[in-house]
Amino acid sequence: MREIEAGVITEAVAKLAVEATHFLPEDVEGAIRGARETEQSPLGVQIIDEILENAEIAREQMLPLCQDTGTAVVHLELGQDVHITGGFIMDAVNAGIEKGYGDGYLRKSIVAHPFGERKNTGTNTPGVIHTEIVPGDKIHIGFMPKGGGCENMSRYQNFLPGAGREAVIKFVCETVDQSGGNPCPPLVIGVGVGGTAEKAMTMAKHSLFRKIGQRSEDPEVSILEKTLLDAVNALGVGPQAVGGSTTALDVFVETYPTHITALPVAVNIQCHSARTKHTVL
Ligand code: SF4
């Protein structure tokens, strides 16, 4: 059994929070640069140039990529042969979020209760922490500062079991079209199909940790991802919804076995500030 001290997790999460909010991942920036070469709309090209300039300024002047530094979404893959010492793992992660958002002077966006006073907790905690027990003696930490504008465009629907791929394509396209400029396109779109309602939504979010261009290992799902990307980009929403062919940089689909009566479909949208960062302890 390998021992990992809770304080090590706190420090790692704090570092991820600062890095994720300042440095656009290379794959995302590369995809945006690629889109600039194919985008036909002059206004769309101008928006893309501004997004790229913003990423450069954030990187060089150590400024957050966006004023909305998001809900801290943390995905932990916890090796079953790891023993956490010196504290509770969830407390350690939340302490890391608080430290990172403090150290980085990042905007705190979390209110303590969804109703009533909606008082800001002042620390950006609690984070939304997902845990998965995996084989081995390591902890993989994925950190995603998830913006409110794009998260608010999430949708879920349970279709009749025979509705098939066509229903998924129509639902994703409708969701993106109706979202317009709210989620700050160009987007990365996460789709979860199967399981139950909460499983579908969790898969949609988890898929957004993938790198741009990383296709599903399931050949049928991989084809669906490509079909969805083409369909979404044919909508003409464009960068920041000014019109154009660059509505999404990629679409990721995760699937899971489901009930004979169900076809659960969840969509979770990521904005052009598609911030994720990973580390392994
Ligand atoms: S959706 Fe993304 S880019 Fe738009 S304001 Fe929110 S975090 Fe910023």
Residue of 187, 273, 275 to test ligand 1 pocket, by largest number of atoms within 8 Å of CB: 273
Domain boundary among 82, 111, 146: 146
How far is residue 64's CA from residue 53's CA, in Å, rounded to a whole number? 13
DSSP string of 256-276, one letter each residue: EEE-TT-EEEEEEEE-SS---
Q: Are residues 91 and 164 in the same domain?
A: no
Q: Are residues 212 and 136 in the same domain?
A: no
Q: Are residues 126 and 166 in the same domain?
A: no
Phi/psi-derived region of residue 10, left when phi > 0, alpha when psi is between -120 and 50, beta in every other case: alpha
Q: Are residues 190 and 212 in the same domain?
A: yes
Q: How far is the CA of 265 from the CAs of 117, 192, 202, in angstroms?
A: 34, 6, 11
Ligand 1 nearest atom to the CA of residue 69, by list position: 7
Q: Are residues 141 and 184 in the same domain?
A: no
pLDDT recorded at residue 189 = 98
Q: Quick one: pLDDT band at residue 271, thresholds 50, 70, 90?
A: very high
Full residue range of the structural domain in which residue 269 is found = 149-274
Q: Are residues 165 and 136 in the same domain?
A: no
CA of 81 to the centre of ligand 1 (A): 38
Mean pLDDT rounded to a whole number for the chain: 98
Q: Quick one: pLDDT band at residue 117, thresholds 50, 70, 90?
A: very high
Ligand 1 nearest atom to the CA of residue 147, by list position: 7
The finding on whether 32 has its CB within 6 A of some atom of ligand 1 is no
pLDDT in tens, 76-111: 999 999 999 999 999 999 999 999 999 999 999 999
The finding on whether 271 has its CB within 6 A of some atom of ligand 1 is yes
Ligand 1 nearest atom to the CA of residue 271, by list position: 2
Residue of 150, 208, 268 to test ligand 1 pocket, by largest number of atoms within 8 Å of CB: 150
Do the domain assignments include residue 181? yes
Q: Are residues 207 and 124 in the same domain?
A: no
pLDDT in tens, 33-74: 999 999 999 999 999 999 999 999 999 999 999 999 999 999
Domain boundary among 93, 113, 146: 146
The number of C-alpha atoms within 13 Å of 219 and in the hemisphere containing its C-beta is: 0
The finding on whether 186 has its CB within 6 A of some atom of ligand 1 is no
CA of 130 to the centre of ligand 1 (A): 22
pTM to 2 decimal places: 0.96
Do the domain assignments include residue 188? yes
Q: Are residues 82 and 132 in the same domain?
A: yes
- How far is the first Cα of the chain from the last one, in angstroms, to the nearest whole number? 14
Ligand 1 nearest atom to the CA of residue 184, by list position: 4
Q: Are residues 99 and 159 in the same domain?
A: no
CA of 182 to the centre of ligand 1 (A): 8
One-letter amino acid at 242 equals V
CA of 137 to the centre of ligand 1 (A): 36
CA of 184 to the centre of ligand 1 (A): 6
Do the domain assignments include residue 47? no
- Decide: 120 and 37 in contact? Cβ < 8 Å: no
CATH number of the domain residue 183 falls in: 3.30.1330
pLDDT in tens, 196-214: 999 999 999 999 999 999 9
Do the domain assignments include residue 59? no
Question: How many domains, in total, are found in the chain?
Answer: 2
Do the domain assignments include residue 280? no
Domain boundary among 99, 130, 146: 146
Q: Are residues 204 and 263 in the same domain?
A: yes
